[in-house]
Structure 1
């Protein structure tokens, strides 16, 4: 069950809040729909419930707020808008990445793909999927971790009748098995046909919270659908008899052989047709979208009947005056706010002009039955439940990060661009001359703040949080991958390995290109290779870590890359001014005293590596980078602890 209390968004300057004091319940075993026009606040309500947007109020999912749920993805399946994945990622790769994020076995991706009918498209890129397939993939992502609650925004927008019917069947199947379903729509007829409870929003305020039968009775206008080859003649007769009896009846001729009669009954229309010898092919009570649109969804019409003209009003008789008017009747007779005290009608069909009498055996017509009387015989199958949910493991964040980084070609393209640009810069520096050997191998001219390898490592680190920003279920504050230290450690580890490989590949590629172009002299290893190597590796990995931490704090890839470039541009001058300022003592001979501190000889000459690291930190760039990393790490930890306290 979902219980929302007092959901209100923050005020927008002089405008009223998008959502103001919305409270409702969505029961388990039922499909609950939030109905409203575009801009009514439906998506804002969902974002407030999922704590993806600042505001007031609280939402309980089976008695617990979202931030108190240990594994949110196993409790709530979310889809807000389009499937927010990288366009170059494959369908199967997206699901396997989310499997690692949610901590479920990777085989779960194949099970869900089979249920939603995307097995044949598992190797397709997300950017190439049609609208219907994108909706199926979004539902697969929501069902991946076998959640109890589904929260879906505009699931059927822009889909065909067949796709909408299938998706509603999946939601009904989930509710039949005891799950909670909360979705949004702008179509009142669709809500009345598919939901058990309908919550109506208007300009951010709750205006109605009704069961589907009550909603259909009070907010949708019932009608009688008539199909006859003599529809025009029958419409004239119905209008004439209503005017004579002084009854309020409206007749709308939607096609050449179909009428929609408002204010009458199947019995009256059937008797009129029988008395005048008019053949009737269909005579049925309707509420909402159970007419020609629904019929075409079940059985396609011939090609010459698919494009029909706009419906026209044949006649409308005012019961008080007995006068016939020709006020246009809109095609959507389910406009909100129109009340009717008539009971919920049922569908009855007759043929051959025989009269028809509406029975009251089913008070809800073609609508779904209440949630306490559901059956699953004709519903589509759901993925099998996850019987074993293993305990949290440190490998899960690492597995997720590896799938995230290796699932698209962005990292590989970045590495290739770094290698090519670094080789070109190295050849250009060698041609110009007057560049030290270690800077030549690193392709680091004095005019640039950072070499191409360091900028590339910082960019790869900055995009490490890209999927979390893009996918609501992977939001850094809430969701399947919260801001835990395990996730941060996995990202830092993968960024360090990537930076290390990039550092060695860059130097090796530059040396090979210099050897091929200028000979062996420019490709020699410098004499002080150990401290230079330590400084080089530390610079590249430090830039990668700075990108990861800054992107996680500011939730922006651009901010992460800006933090990397700010180290040599802003922090280094500040450190140099602090070091060159007046001081009583200096740190000269630090490396010698450090070696004296560790009297015992380390195996494999470990003291040399320690001294090289100390010398690297003592450099202006190294000190500035260490200072930036410390500040970013402290800021990340502070924001993480603050989100947990909330």
Structure 2
């Protein structure tokens, strides 16, 4: 269960807050929809609930706020926008990385891939997936840790009707098993068809909180959409016949050749057009939206897509009508019943004023025609009859909350024999819509209703918390894409070329020559490469998050920081060793052994080299975590030699009153132990490294970044 209390975003400059005092409840076992047009604050509400945006209010997930939950991904599965993943990572690799982050077995990745129908695409890159496959993968990421609650921001946006039905079936299956589902949508018909409860937002406030049946009765209204070149004649004829028969009919003319007829049926409108010899290009049942934004114009792309084709045209009347027995408007041959509406059987009106249902022996026609969007003009011309306006009827395409046995039997009629056998795919057949969403989770469905899509099996045994979990996640993150390997190859090539050119020009000491570090460069290529790899350590969490934008795949704790520092240190060591080895080998091939010899003071130089590379890598990791940006991490690495080193040198330029001469001997006396193998030499080398301007600047920078990281982490944890 989700309980939101007084969610209010921080006010913007000179503008009211995007969300103001939003409170609602999403119950377990039900699908709840946040309905509102673009800009009404739906996404802001979700971000406030997930603590991704600063504001006031409180949200409880089964009685606890999100920051009090030890493993948020096990409680809440979130999909905000596109798939949160690196575009070069494979589908299976991405899910396995998230398995390590969530602490679930690796086989869970294959289970969710099978549930969402992506087994055949497990080796595809995320950047190559289509919109529908992207949404499937996002749902797989949300279901990976077997959460109790699903929070999805406009999940059906950009999907086809078939993909939308599959997605809604998955959400219904999750709710049927006792989970909580919260979605956002801008389509009132989708909200009434999918959700059990609809919370309507307008200008950042809750204007209605209704059950789906009540929402459909008060917000939606059945109508007949007509497209004809003689719209004015047909409107006048319909109005005249309604007045003669004393029926409540409202005719709204929009777009020149379009009519919307309220309070009538396709059969009545078609009969009127036939009697008056009016050509009709389109005739279909629709569900009109009577709420805010109902009169928004349809984009040109949708208007063009809604034009009927010769194969899918509902009706075409000629000027010279045929005999009544063969008329396409006859009840025996007319394919224009509620079941054949472009909106599908879900949108067929069930009110008393709607068209009468077909006999129980007549097969139901499967939904094959595409959904026709409802265009509306800014200022429609309304023609009404003299009688009182009709009462809006429930037309959401679902059974009301309390239905009788006759309505239930009519809604569960067997599908048509003409419908083809559904393919072996996780997508449900168009002729088998999902069960009515308004029925409680515990209500048994009709025996003829097909089963819901299969969800991944629940996780029966979860592994105990392990300190190696962040390390496993970091290893999968670092090795899942080829950025690290490509960066290492570029560093090696650049280092070799720099060393060869510097040896030919001269004026570069032997020690700096092996490191490919001329005096003109602020840092050697190996140190820059290690800093870049360190700066990329937090890139996946901040640019491609798994839970939500500011939380990251793994909670920002010291365990994750330690794992990133360890992996970056090992990477820096490997890069430093490979760089020196490749430089020495190439210098020997070009100029002989004299240039490639090992310096006599190699312990101190080796300690300096290793400290420089690892320090740059750590600086990149810490700066990326503090500034939440890869470019910020790389800038912090470059700032050490460019900004901090000159300051340290200026401080050390003054006369030295005290010196550290004899430090190894005094250290041995304090410890009262003999250092094996001359260990005091290595300790002295490390001390000399720290005493140099570069070492002092790097140590000072690392200390500052560690304090800043801990400060930001503790502040976010306290919030």
Partner of 2:368: 300
- Relative to structure 1, the CA distance from residue 628 to residue 431 in structure 2 (aligned partners, 3 Å threshold; closer, same or farther) is same
Give how far 1:190 is off: 0.9
Partner SS state of residue 83, structure 2: coil
8 Å Cα contact 2:173/2:454 also seen in 1: yes
Partner of 1:521: 594
What number of residue pairs does the alignment pair up? 615
TM-score (norm 1): 0.86
Give how far 1:321 is off: 7.8
Residues 198-217 of structure 1: matches in 2 within 5 Å? 198-217=198-217
Aligned equivalent of 1:622, options 687, 695, 709: 695
CA separation in 1, counterparts of 2:646 and 2:260?
79
CA separation in 2, counterparts of 1:406 and 1:284?
57
CA separation in 1, counterparts of 2:233 and 2:28?
50
CA separation in 2, counterparts of 1:403 and 1:297?
51
CA separation in 1, counterparts of 2:398 and 2:717?
54
Q: Does 1:279 align with 2:352?
A: no
8 Å Cα contact 1:77/1:143 also seen in 2: yes
Partner SS state of residue 209, structure 2: strand
Q: Does 1:153 align with 2:153?
A: yes
Q: Does 1:562 align with 2:635?
A: yes
CA separation in 2, counterparts of 1:476 and 1:470?
8
Partner of 1:432: 505
Deviates more, 1:291-300 or 1:94-103: 291-300
CA separation in 2, counterparts of 1:214 and 1:307?
25
Q: Does 1:318 align with 2:384?
A: yes
8 Å Cα contact 2:35/2:188 also seen in 1: yes
- CA offsets 1:116-149 (integer angstroms, 9 cap, x no match): 0000000000000011000000000000000000
Give how far 1:587 is off: 3.1
Partner of 1:174: 174
8 Å Cα contact 2:92/2:109 also seen in 1: yes
- Relative to structure 1, the CA distance from residue 104 to residue 394 in structure 2 (aligned partners, 3 Å threshold; closer, same or farther) is same
Give how far 1:62 is off: 0.3
Give how far 1:89 is off: 0.2
- Relative to structure 1, the CA distance from residue 475 to residue 115 in structure 2 (aligned partners, 3 Å threshold; closer, same or farther) is closer
Q: Does 1:187 align with 2:187?
A: yes
Residues 391-406 of structure 1: matches in 2 within 5 Å? 391-406=464-479
- Relative to structure 1, the CA distance from residue 609 to residue 375 in structure 2 (aligned partners, 3 Å threshold; closer, same or farther) is farther
Give how far 1:472 is off: 3.9
Aligned equivalent of 1:578, options 631, 637, 651: 651
Q: Does 1:218 align with 2:218?
A: yes
8 Å Cα contact 2:345/2:397 also seen in 1: no
Partner SS state of residue 57, structure 1: strand
Partner SS state of residue 181, structure 2: strand
Give how far 1:404 is off: 0.3
Residues 29-44 of structure 1: matches in 2 within 5 Å? 29-44=29-44
Partner SS state of residue 24, structure 1: strand
Give how far 1:571 is off: 1.4
Give how far 1:476 is off: 8.4
Partner of 1:56: 56
Whichever structure has more helix as a proportion of its residues is 1
- Relative to structure 1, the CA distance from residue 584 to residue 340 in structure 2 (aligned partners, 3 Å threshold; closer, same or farther) is farther
Q: Does 1:641 align with 2:707?
A: no
Partner of 2:393: 342
- CA offsets 1:557-592 (integer angstroms, 9 cap, x no match): 111111111111111122222222355433344344
Give how far 1:595 is off: 4.2
Partner of 1:379: 452
- Relative to structure 1, the CA distance from residue 582 to residue 426 in structure 2 (aligned partners, 3 Å threshold; closer, same or farther) is same
Gaps of 5+ in 2: 276-323, 349-363, 412-434
Give how far 1:363 is off: 12
Partner SS state of residue 407, structure 2: coil
Partner of 1:361: 407
Give how far 1:163 is off: 0.4
CA separation in 1, counterparts of 2:548 and 2:710?
17
RMSD: 3.8
Partner SS state of residue 361, structure 1: helix
Q: Does 1:499 align with 2:572?
A: yes
Q: Does 1:488 align with 2:534?
A: no
Give how far 1:299 is off: 3.6
8 Å Cα contact 2:541/2:552 also seen in 1: no
Partner of 2:241: 241
Partner SS state of residue 156, structure 1: coil
Partner of 2:2: 2
Residues 100-119 of structure 1: matches in 2 within 5 Å? 100-119=100-119
CA separation in 1, counterparts of 2:718 and 2:341?
47
- CA offsets 1:197-230 (integer angstroms, 9 cap, x no match): 1111122222211111111111111236899xxx
Give how far 1:599 is off: 4.0
Partner SS state of residue 33, structure 1: strand
CA separation in 1, counterparts of 2:600 and 2:580?
15
- CA offsets 1:12-40 (integer angstroms, 9 cap, x no match): 11122221111111111011111111121
TM-score (norm 2): 0.78
Give how far 1:288 is off: 11
CA separation in 1, counterparts of 2:479 and 2:221?
55
8 Å Cα contact 2:543/2:549 also seen in 1: no
Give how far 1:259 is off: 9.3
CA separation in 2, counterparts of 1:216 and 1:476?
34
Q: Does 1:126 align with 2:126?
A: yes
Residues 453-472 of structure 1: matches in 2 within 5 Å? 453-472=526-545
CA separation in 1, counterparts of 2:469 and 2:203?
43
- CA offsets 1:584-613 (integer angstroms, 9 cap, x no match): 433344344334434422334433322221
CA separation in 1, counterparts of 2:92 and 2:9?
36
Give how far 1:252 is off: 7.8
Partner of 1:329: none
Give how far 1:270 is off: 11
Deviates more, 1:2-11 or 1:291-300: 291-300
Deviates more, 1:513-522 or 1:144-153: 513-522
CA separation in 2, counterparts of 1:638 and 1:297?
64
Deviates more, 1:282-291 or 1:570-579: 282-291
CA separation in 1, counterparts of 2:694 and 2:365?
67
Deviates more, 1:390-399 or 1:364-373: 364-373
8 Å Cα contact 1:79/1:472 also seen in 2: no
Q: Does 1:413 align with 2:486?
A: yes
